[in-house]
Amino acid sequence: MAFIIAALISYPFIEPYLLYANEMELADPDIPEGFDGVRVAFAADLHCGQYVSVERMQYFVKEINSQKPDIILLGGDYIIDGHPDLDQCFAALSDLSAPMGVYGVLGNHEHWEDEDWSRQQLESAGITLLENDGQWISRGGDRIWVGGVGDVWEDEQDMSKMEATEDDFSIIVSHNPDFAEKLSEDTVDMILSGHTHGGQVNLFGLYAPYQTSRYGQKYMRGMVDGPRCPVYVTTGMGVGGAPIRFFARPEIAVFTLRK
């Protein structure tokens, strides 16, 4: 009995280090032939600072690169605001590498630290910002649209620069999954979000006592049916609030696109 109790007490401090690659296939008729088989790595909530060292941030970057993604998308909250080593945290992101580019949005913690400074740091790290903007990514004569919106808590969400039509394949990155409830366009095929940490501490993956979404458990983790399109909510990579996780293993979400 004492061993079981000790294991239950210690496990939440171990789980934050059990990072894994969550491999999925993403099939959609709008995905063009030229993008069939393309690998998209999505990572969010690295939270370098209070509980995640610069060295661990570098480890996160190495693990993302090890998935050999063609495209890397980042969902914000790279830091914990108020920590003295944040410039080194951002600098670690400069080693991210994908042949079709590295793209990202800000999370609420970047706004809480200094949004303009955070943007400069991300741009210096070679990350293309997609805040209320987007761009076409081309391959073999085909193209897909990748865009992003501002953080739901601290910014505006503007889709006016969206160029994709219903016949195109498009991905929108939003740090906070609650954006899905505000989306009015039918031209988005997938939203990628973080922010919730999968609850970070929850009851066997079923119920999180503390949620950062206005919609309770709906956007806790995984693939969710949003009002307009599917939403994938990653459990994230780092931790916030406390250096623990329970039934919310940190992940790198890796999607293989399929026509």
Give the number of domains in the chain: 1
Please write the tens of the pLDDT for every residue from 186-217.
999 999 999 999 999 998 888 999 889 999 99
Per the structure block, which two tokens stand in for 158? 């503007």
* CATH number (domain holding residue 111): 3.60.21
What confidence category does residue 9 fall into, taking pLDDT thresholds of 50, 70 and 90?
Answer: confident
The pLDDT tens digits for 26-38 are 999 999 999 999 9
Contact 250, 237 (CB under 8 A): yes
Rounded Cα distance between 3 and 161, Å, is 57
Q: pLDDT for 96-140, tens place per residue?
A: 999 999 999 999 999 999 999 999 999 999 999 999 999 999 999
| Interacting residues of 214 by C-beta distance below 8 A, sequence separation 6+ | 178, 181
- Beta strands (DSSP E) in 75-177 are 102-104, 128-129, 133-139, 142-148, 170-173
| Average pLDDT rounded to a whole number, residues 245-255 | 97
Residue numbers of the domain that contains 153: 2-258
The runs of H, that is alpha helices, within 132-244 are: none
Nearest Cα neighbor of 252 from 36, 46, 26 is 46
The amino acid at 218: K
| Closest by CA position to 110, among listed 67, 167, 49, 43 | 49
State the pLDDT at residue 7. Answer: 63
Q: What is the mean pLDDT of residues 13-26?
A: 97
